Amino acid sequence: MPTTIKITLSAPPDIVQMAKQIAAERDTSVSALFANYIRAIHQANHPVVKTKLHPAVEALTGCVQLPPEYANLSDKELIQKCIYEHYGIES
């Protein structure tokens, strides 16, 4: 596990309550929620240079059309849904 450093943040009580509620809804901690938020901002401001795909992989890009109800699912949610639909296993 990576080393973590404890920090103290200050926020109005309503913001703290919102953070706790969001963290509970996502089954995570406020610390993890904060870390993910900072990571997302960093990634948005510092895009990763994409590597060149193998031609065989490149040919597959865009070959699958997902149903509209799958459009807003994250990669993890999509994989979980497919596993459940195919095998009947909740992950």
Q: What is the pLDDT of residues 2-47, one digit of tens each?
A: 688 999 999 999 999 999 999 999 899 999 999 999 988 988 888 7
Domain-located, residue 34: yes
* Domain shared by 89 and 63, yes or no: yes
Instruction: Taking the CA atoms of 72, 77, 82 and 87 in sequence, report the sign of the dihedral they define.
Output: negative
User: 52 — phi, psi (to 5°)?
Assistant: -70, 130
Between CA 58 and CA 49 the distance in angstroms is: 16
Let me know if residue 66 belongs to a domain. yes
State pTM to two decimals: 0.49
Residues 42 and 64 in one domain: no
The boundaries of the domain holding residue 81 are: 52-91
Say if 2 falls within a structural domain: no
Residue with tokens 């990669």: 75
HEC-encoded secondary structure of 10-37: CCCHHHHHHHHHHHHHCCCCHHHHHHHH
Q: Quick check: 68 pLDDT over 70?
A: yes
Q: Which long-range contacts (CB under 8 A, 24 or more apart) does 62-67 make?
A: none
